[in-house]
Chains A and B, each alone.
Chain A
Amino acid sequence: MSTTVTTPTPAAVPAPTTPASRFSFAPLNVGRFVVWGLFTLVLAVAPLIFTSSLSITMLSQMGIAIVACLSFNMLLGQGGMLSFGHAVYTGLATFVAIHVLNAIGGGLPIPVSLVPLVGGVAGMLFAVVLGFVTTKKAGTPFAMITLGIGELVFAMSLMIPEFFGGEGGVQANRVVGKAVLGITFGPQIQVYYLLAIYTLICTAAMFAFTQTPLGRMLNAVRDNPERVEFIGYSTQRVRYIAFIIAGFFAGIAGGMYALNFEIATAEVVGAARSGPYLLFTFLGGATFFFGPIIGAILMVVAFVLLSEFTKAWLLYLGLIFLFMVMYAPGGIASLIMMNLRVAAYGKLRRLWGSYLALAGTVLVMLAGAAAMIEMVYHLQLNAALGPNLRFIGVPLNAEGLDSWVGAAFVTVVGLAMFEATRRVFARQWGEIQGEIEHEIRRKEAL
């Protein structure tokens, strides 16, 4: 049965009639239209659903973060270049954009809506200069140089107060120049839509880049720089051009930041900003184009909401990062793609039970661990308020043995249950992957 050609597989359907039709992949393009249409729709509709001023602020920041993380991933995921200093390009562009915004206030005839583009040009120029040094090397030396340049620029930001504004930073007012069609960019919602347009265009442009000869050679440089040299390409040149393009989009994100916050302080060029780009791009998933978008959204959620919710948010973030590196090094995007593959073969249903169990045990473990973390933070920071606190509705006594033993017990039980379910899940997952591989081989044999 399995060897006969009775069931036409999807792979066998597009018959190669002419070379041109072979490469255009009509079905894929339909899917692409749907995806981009949905993305546009989400960008347009999001502020109509989440109408509070907090959510509009967050949505604006998400747009900025998406462009920044995607540009970062052009280096990390697509080029294999681990940069510890991406904020240099977003941050310097923010400063340039702020100064330009002030100049517009002084009569410079540039529409405010083009300020992000000015940031992009600035980011690109800085990448042309600094990237020339940086991209001379690849791998660990590259990472070290980016770290060095990051520190250098941060140090300079305090040395040159004329440009960086010293400790207080530089402020600007975005409600300047002539209002076009009554759009002053005073209300946050107007800024949001401008940023959304930039986000959409930049995302599309960066995706288009992955489909060009240079974009593909950048992947080749990531996979095997040595071989690239033997098929006619200079790896250094590929890295350099890609770095400049990434600098351009980073600069646009910097310009968007300037419009949104109307202030630039020294920290926007520093490691405190570069670190999250790396962390959240990785969390979102560097191996897929859309991974950094997820990462960027999580970044804003973590920075705005998680930091409100608990003082220990950086600690939780570190823990999550640790878990991701250990168990899902491809990030959330790769988790999604792996499960989509399982779903495509109709086997996802078998995993639901395990997923529920995993989620449940993780929550138990997390509740116990978080209770202890919160008690430590409470003792250290809120000692004046007494030893009693409430954590997810449970009254705890940070100085009482009961609370500590209880929390530790919950953690250990959660951990044990998690490990047990993880093993069952790992076996199930392995089985399903084996079945899928088998099915693929069977199709190939047809």
Chain B
Amino acid sequence: MTSSAYALELKDLRKSFGKTEIIRGANLAVKPGERVAIIGPNGAGKSTLFNLISGRFGPSSGGIVLNGKNIENLSPFEISRMGLARSFQVSNLFTRLSVFENLRCGVLWSQGYKYSFWKFLSKLHDANERAEQLMKMIKLDKKRDTLAMNLTYAEQRALEIGITIAGGAEVVLLDEPTAGMSKSETRRFIELIREVTVGKTLLTVEHDMGVVFGLADKIAVLVYGEVIAFDVPDAVRANAKVQEAYLGSVLADQQAAEAGVH
């Protein structure tokens, strides 16, 4: 297999809902192993962009290339099998299954078990070991047999990440992984994300600027459906266009808020 220079490429991607164009020609090229944070004002189309990449919606036009292969017309499960996984902004779990079962479901396809009904789950040692290992990684090993719906909010967020990385995908999209968490929870959680996604190509949507500048190698700024800047954090911070469109106001707000505290 020829490895392309980029893990994920968006080529003039467009998406309209009715007459409203939400994504208006987005371009992005992410190298393997890069950690990219996608920021932008509300309604810029960040979640829509993730939904397009992961196959939840089909784009109106343009291309999405994963490791050199076009995926814009594939369904979510086909894209998932090609090594792209995503998490959701609102936890999307198997509510009536235990933590362990949730993770094992995430593991099964990648271990090649597909739709088999002639093997017992308890005999699938590789899948079981992987699920156990994941459970330790996301620090839910004490909750092994708790149903997902009975977990606390923070635990559900952790399980969400666990299911996402379970299949061993090389490209991981995290949609606001820390949404709704307190400051201290967020800090711990970012540390966890960093641990479990070592060596992966990571794209996150994030609102907390502290997190963004801490976690990402590069930042993509999405404004009104276009990527107006894609660079290392310092360069993005200094970018005049970004200042004008978005970051300036956010930073000013944050500074003002901090000044108010002091």
What is the interface of chain A, defined by CB distance below 8 A to chain B?
19-20, 22-25, 208-209, 211-217, 219-220, 222-224, 226-234, 237-238, 241, 245, 444
Choose one: A24, A214, A224, A245; the contact of B94 (CB below 8 Å). Answer: A224
Bound complex: CA A324 to CA B119 (Å) = 36
Q: Chain B, 113-134, contact with A by CB distance < 8 Å: what is the 0/1 string?
A: 1111111111011001100100
Choose one: A224, A233, A238; the contact of B92 (CB below 8 Å). Answer: A224
Answer whether residue B153 sits at the interface, using C-beta atoms and an 8 A cutoff. Answer: no
Bound complex: CA A217 to CA B119 (Å) = 13
Answer whether residue B46 sits at the interface, using C-beta atoms and an 8 A cutoff. Answer: no
What is the interface of chain B, defined by CB distance below 8 A to chain A?
54, 75-77, 80-81, 85-86, 88, 92-97, 101, 104-106, 108-110, 113-122, 124-125, 128-129, 132, 142-143, 163, 166-167
Q: Considering only CB atoms, which chain B residue lies closest to A446 in the complex?
A: B142
B115 touches A232 (CB 8 A): no
Give 24 pairs: A residue, B residue, CB < 8 Å, sorted on A: A19-B132, A23-B128, A25-B122, A211-B120, A212-B116, A212-B119, A213-B108, A213-B113, A215-B121, A216-B101, A220-B94, A224-B94, A224-B95, A227-B88, A227-B93, A227-B163, A228-B105, A231-B85, A231-B108, A232-B80, A232-B167, A234-B75, A241-B115, A444-B143
Bound complex: CA A25 to CA B122 (Å) = 9
Bound complex: CA A187 to CA B110 (Å) = 54
B-side contacts of A209, CB under 8 Å: 117
A-side contacts of B119, CB under 8 Å: 212-213
A-side contacts of B75, CB under 8 Å: 229, 234
Given contacts A212-B121, A232-B109, 4 further A-B contacts (CB under 8 A): A212-B117, A216-B101, A217-B115, A219-B101
Bound complex: CA A317 to CA B105 (Å) = 39
B117 touches A214 (CB 8 A): yes
B-side contacts of A237, CB under 8 Å: 115
B-side contacts of A213, CB under 8 Å: 108, 113-117, 119, 121, 124
B-side contacts of A224, CB under 8 Å: 92-95
B-side contacts of A24, CB under 8 Å: 122
A217 touches B122 (CB 8 A): no
A-side contacts of B118, CB under 8 Å: 212
CB of A79 to closest CB in B, whole Å: 12
Q: A211-B121, A212-B118, A213-B115 are in contact. Are A19 and B105 (CB under 8 A)?
A: no
A226 touches B121 (CB 8 A): no
Interface-centre pick from A223, A226, A234, A245 (highest chain B CB count, 10 A): A223
B96 touches A219 (CB 8 A): yes
B-side contacts of A214, CB under 8 Å: 115-117
A231 touches B106 (CB 8 A): yes
A-side contacts of B81, CB under 8 Å: 232
Q: Considering only CB atoms, which chain A residue lies closest to B126 in the complex?
A: A19
B-side contacts of A229, CB under 8 Å: 75-77, 80
Q: Considering only CB atoms, which chain A residue lies closest to B96 in the complex?
A: A223
Q: Considering only CB atoms, which chain A residue lies closest to B124 in the complex?
A: A213
Bound complex: CA A227 to CA B109 (Å) = 13
Choose one: B94, B108, B113, B125; the contact of A23 (CB below 8 Å). Answer: B125
A19 touches B129 (CB 8 A): yes
Bound complex: CA A240 to CA B106 (Å) = 20
Q: A25-B122, A214-B117, A444-B142 are in contact. Are A231 and B97 (CB under 8 A)?
A: no
CB of B155 to closest CB in A, whole Å: 12
Bound complex: CA A237 to CA B75 (Å) = 13
A-side contacts of B166, CB under 8 Å: 231
Bound complex: CA A230 to CA B94 (Å) = 12
B-side contacts of A219, CB under 8 Å: 94, 96-97, 101
Bound complex: CA A103 to CA B109 (Å) = 45
CB of A127 to closest CB in B, whole Å: 15
Q: A23-B122, A211-B122, A215-B117 are in contact. Are A230 and B104 (CB under 8 A)?
A: no
Bound complex: CA A215 to CA B108 (Å) = 12
A-side contacts of B77, CB under 8 Å: 228-234
Q: Which 7 residue pairs of A and B lie closest in terms of their CB atoms, listed nearest first?
A: A232-B109, A229-B76, A214-B117, A223-B94, A213-B113, A212-B117, A232-B80
Choose one: A212, A215, A226, A231; the contact of B163 (CB below 8 Å). Answer: A231
A-side contacts of B167, CB under 8 Å: 231-232
A-side contacts of B117, CB under 8 Å: 209, 212-215, 241, 245
Q: Considering only CB atoms, which chain A residue lies closest to B145 in the complex?
A: A11
CB of A240 to closest CB in B, whole Å: 9
CB of A120 to closest CB in B, whole Å: 15
A-side contacts of B113, CB under 8 Å: 213
Interface-centre pick from A22, A23, A209, A219 (highest chain B CB count, 10 A): A23
CB of A21 to closest CB in B, whole Å: 11
Q: Considering only CB atoms, which chain B residue lies closest to A237 in the complex?
A: B115
Q: Considering only CB atoms, which chain B residue lies closest to A440 in the complex?
A: B146
Q: Considering only CB atoms, which chain B residue lies closest to A238 in the complex?
A: B115
B97 touches A223 (CB 8 A): yes
CB of A34 to closest CB in B, whole Å: 18
Bound complex: CA A230 to CA B101 (Å) = 16
Bound complex: CA A20 to CA B126 (Å) = 10
Q: Considering only CB atoms, which chain A residue lies closest to B107 in the complex?
A: A231
Interface-centre pick from A19, A214, A237 (highest chain B CB count, 10 A): A214
CB of A136 to closest CB in B, whole Å: 14
Q: Considering only CB atoms, which chain B residue lies closest to A215 in the complex?
A: B117
A-side contacts of B114, CB under 8 Å: 213
CB of B50 to closest CB in A, whole Å: 11
Interface-centre pick from A19, A213, A233, A444 (highest chain B CB count, 10 A): A213
A-side contacts of B106, CB under 8 Å: 231
Bound complex: CA A212 to CA B125 (Å) = 13
Choose one: A22, A208, A212, A216; the contact of B105 (CB below 8 Å). Answer: A216
Bound complex: CA A333 to CA B120 (Å) = 25
B76 touches A212 (CB 8 A): no
Bound complex: CA A213 to CA B112 (Å) = 10
A-side contacts of B86, CB under 8 Å: 230
CB of B168 to closest CB in A, whole Å: 11
